[in-house]
Amino acid sequence: MGAITVKYPVLLVNFKTYENATWPKSRHLAECIMAARQKTGANIIASPQLFDLNPLSQSIPTFAQHIDPITYGSNTGYALPEAAKAAGATGTLINHSEHKLAFSKIKKTMEAAKRAGLLVCICAPNTKEAKKIAKLKPDMIAVEPPELIGSGISVSKAKPEIISDSVKAIKAISPETHVLCGAGVSTGEDVRKAIELGAEGCLVASAIVNSEDPETIILEMAGNLEAKK
């Protein structure tokens, strides 16, 4: 699975460290994603905990939740990019609001990810930071206002200008970078609105991971990925 090519629009599901997304329960989430991929043809990627990358990447494409800018050697407690790749990861998240990095560290981590052959999705809390990150020309930038993460209030509804402004700003600097929308995305309508505002996918988490029926939510979101802009 590590060699797949990401197609857009994309739904990137962050498992975080929720109990429902910790092995062996994470296996059920992976099965729901696999079923939704087969039913809709949509590109849905899981971002599980590092310990779950290997078993889950056998059936679905995966992104690591984080890696460190290190090489082989004496680095106890750090996440080696090459290890994530070997475990089956296609890419990695960097700079999520729950794991913030200084810009210099973001740059070094992206370089390490590219060295290992991983795609990169860098998170940004606002348009200003997204513009700065765009200069690095990552594969994806996920714009996520931290105050809306896990709120159930989608940024595409609460602050739509953040998405549209970020898309324009990022594309002006790095046309090849794909812009994702995150923070509070909870329904298919939220996804549709994000796509209409110019996003090329969504980074989602609790609405799916903590749902009693995650497959239904995934199918609903996946069904709205192709909304007209």
Catalytic entry in 96, 129, 215, 220: 96
Catalytic site residue 96?
yes
Question: Three-state SS for 34?
Answer: helix
Name, in order, each residue with C-beta under 8 angstroms of 104's C-beta and a sequence gap of 6 or more.
none
User: H or E segment at 165?
Assistant: helix 160-173
Separation of alpha carbons 53 and 87, rounded Å: 6
Asked whether 118 and 153 are in contact (CB, 8 A), the reply is no
Separation of alpha carbons 23 and 150, rounded Å: 22
> Within 10 Å of residue 31's Cβ, how many Cβ atoms?
15
Catalytic entry in 144, 200, 215, 220: 144
Bridge partner residues of 62 (DSSP): 46, 89
> Within 10 Å of residue 75's Cβ, how many Cβ atoms?
11
Catalytic site residue 144?
yes
Which residues are catalytically annotated?
96, 144
